Structure 1
Amino acid sequence: MKQCGTGDRGVNRPAFAQFRQCLQNFLIDFTQLGENGKNSSVFLQGVSGYLVGNFLGIQVDMAKFRDTPVGRFQNVKNIRLTWCEPDWFEYVPSDTDAFAYTTSTGLTIRPGRMFFDGGSTPRFSRLFAKFSPWYYTPVALVHDWLAETQACGRPLVNFNQSVAIQQEALKTMMVENEDWKNVFVFNATRWALKSSKGRRLWNLQEDVCPVPISRKKERLKL
């Protein structure tokens, strides 16, 4: 497939013209995929990776996915979320057999009580396959708990470790069920977490814990 925007960097084309070229390339490439017998699931994943990823400049790194180890989820069926307000829930761990994730290195993460809005995905990207904030809920719970403990002054891991654990947990889910696999989502979440905003949010300290919904909304706007 052609990479959108990889021509002469000295040419400053308007964003719409660049997007139109991406769309044209996409239609050519995925028409060919359809002729080769690919199903609609592959087609939708292609929309996600090709139109969103290439337009934003996110590369699909198969080697990074392949080389990432996997861990183990425990008691996923015991995840219980209580509705608080639109888009926001409260997570309270079960008294027995609480949800947890054990990393490939043996670290077990058991999320505690916190307010939760699913995965932090841009609203426009939710139009595409596997970009719902709730598609990978167990992974989002693990990472949000790491961020919560950091904000509350009792970090379990450092910033780079938190990104690595999120990536590992995401791959763990993806290899458990082929229908859940999307390597572009894997790369896009890493790109977002390691962005300057991701690092800035990680370093913010809070006085009230669990961090209230109102404060979490403010953090998302920073």
Structure 2
Amino acid sequence: MRRLALIVLALAGLAGCAEVNFEDARPGEFEGAVSVYWLEQSTSASGSGGRFVYVPVPGFELRFIRPEGSVPAAIAPGVMYTDGGSIPRVAQAFRGFSPWSYGPVYIVHDWLFAARRCVEDPSATPEQLKTRDMAFQETVDIFVETLKTLERDRRIVARDFSQETVASAIAGPVSRNLWARTDACDEDRLSERDQAVVDRILQQQRRGLRTMRVPGQEQVIEGVRVRLVDTISF
């Protein structure tokens, strides 16, 4: 989501508010798959703009199983907007959204903040409500756990400058202030148009219909040009 790009830019050189502990963090397990789509604003040749949307794959929904003894024990992101494509190069995130990028890490982190903004909403889901009593420090711990998991599984290279920079940024004061917002669900809610597109994608997948499988492949759904950015499977 937008917060990650803003946080990295604003706080890369500042001290964080929460502790970033790479040495003691333990890896967990990723399950399922990550699929991200780009929804254009217009189907015309001159159309520009749009949004990235994370869409869980039916039957293969992404889950991050945290190290034993952690609370919550698992995190399962739901449909949401995510601005992974605008994250600075220093983070090397969503660079082609390949298995070597940090894509799944950002999806989990984005989801925690999106869910947190909905905990006061009457329609909050059980998965969103997991963040109600979660301390800000826990979001930093989870971020490092997901990084360590991809590193252990050799999905990303060993810890380097970009990981240190991003981890320090997401532990900073801007991120802490964003975490304090628990009544802003409408700001992140999918528009009716985008929700209709996502519903069609999910319907196609559940019915086993031919759908986008190759990164960069496009189709028009509900009058919207939709492109699959990539799918990462675990």
TM-score, scaled relative to structure 2: 0.55
Instruction: Give the drift of 1:178.
Output: 7.2
Where does residue 141 of structure 2 map in the other structure? 164
> How far apart, CA to CA, are the structure 2 residues paired with 1:178 and 1:91?
20
Radius of gyration: which is bigger?
A: 1
Give the Cα separation in 2 of the matches to 1:178 and 1:102: 17
Given the alignment of the two structures, is residue 99 of structure 1 paired with residue 62 of structure 2, yes or no? yes
Q: Which amino acid aligns with 1:211?
A: R
Q: Does 1:131 align with 2:92?
A: yes
Contact 1:150–1:202 (CA<8 Å) still a contact in 2?
Answer: yes
Please say if 1:206 is aligned against 2:151: no
How much has 1:56 moved relative to structure 2? 3.2
1:68 maps onto 2:28 in alignment: no
Aligned partner of 1:146: which letter?
Answer: L
Q: How high is the sequence identity, in percent, across the aligned residues?
A: 27
User: CA, structure 1 residues 119+184, in 2 after alignment: closer, same or farther (shift >3 Å)?
Assistant: farther
SS in 1 for 2:58: coil
Asked whether the 8 Å contact 1:167–1:190 carries over to 2, the reply is: yes
Classify 1:102/1:89 alpha carbon distance in 2 versus 1 (closer, same or farther; 3 Å): same
Measured against aligned partners, the alpha-carbon deviations of 1:58-87 in whole angstroms (never above 9, x if no partner) come to 79xxx9323211100012xx3222212457
Correspondence for 1:88 among 37, 43, 51: 51
One-letter code aligned to 1:98: E
Deviations 1:172-202 (A, max 9, x none): 1112117522332332222111211111111
Task: Give the CA RMSD over aligned residues.
Answer: 3.0
Report the TM-score when normalising by structure 1.
0.58
CA distance in 2, matches of 1:119, 1:65: 25
Decide whether the 8 Å contact of 2:21 with 2:144 is kept in 1: no
CA-CA distance at 1:209 after TM superposition: 6.6
Bigger relative contact order (CA 8 A; separation at least 6): 2
Structure 1 gaps of 5+ residues are 1-54, 214-222
Q: Which amino acid aligns with 1:140?
A: Y
Number of aligned positions between the proteins: 150
Q: Distance in 2 between matches of 1:81 and 1:64?
A: 29
Distance 2:112 2:92 in 1: 21
**Higher share in strand:** 2
